[in-house]
Amino acid sequence: MRSPDDTALEVVVGRLLKQRAFTLALAESCTGGLISHRVTNVPGSSGYYQGAVVAYSNEIKELVLQVRRDTLHCYGSVSERAALEMARGVRCALRADIGLSVTGIAGPGGGTPEKPVGLIYISLAAPDVERVERYVWNGNRWENKTRSVEAALGLLRRYLEGRL
């Protein structure tokens, strides 16, 4: 996806991260590393990108990202609380200024009436702001993943532009 000036979002956020001398770490679940792929396609991304944890299992969310067992048990891995704890955890684990996380149900299976296919939570944790956004996409698996990437990069952009 492109920004209004026809520049890819990963290029825009890369420029903003450099300008502010901020570092970024990602915690990806349902996107499976797709955000990391986009971020690292930008030349010079090693100047601001710390790395990522692709935490597909609850065990990794708990052990590596420090998502509380109670959170996973009571609310599930696809929840506002889990997304926020993932963003906080990756920020701490990778010593970044900003932690950005995505968790959800990409589909085509795995949904329930309470948590339908396409339900996605995206969270940003920074020194001055913590935010979680909820989306329900209605596409196929690939569409749900790519929309989630765009939404995550969009959230990061809004934060870096001071619009959160």
pLDDT tens for residues 103-160? 999 999 999 999 999 999 999 999 999 999 999 999 999 999 999 999 999 999 999 9
Q: For all residues of the chain together, what is the average pLDDT?
A: 96
Tell me which CATH homologous superfamily contains domain 9-160: CinA-like (3.90.950.20)
Among the residues of 75-140, which ranges form H helices? 80-93
**14 confidence band (pLDDT: 50, 70, 90):** very high
pTM comes to 0.95
CA 103 to chain centre: 7
Share of the chain above pLDDT 70, in %: 96
CB 115 within 8 A of CB 135: no
Tell me which amino acid residue 43 is. P
What residues contact 112, with CB distance under 8 A and at least 6 apart?
Answer: none
Residues paired with 27 in a beta bridge: 53, 101
Q: What is the pLDDT of residues 47-61, one digit of tens each?
A: 999 999 999 999 999
| C-alpha–C-alpha distance, residues 37 and 104, integer Å | 18
Within 10 angstroms of residue 16's Cβ, the number of other Cβ atoms is 16
Write down the pLDDT at residue 7: 86
Instruction: Tell me the domain boundaries of the chain.
Output: 9-160
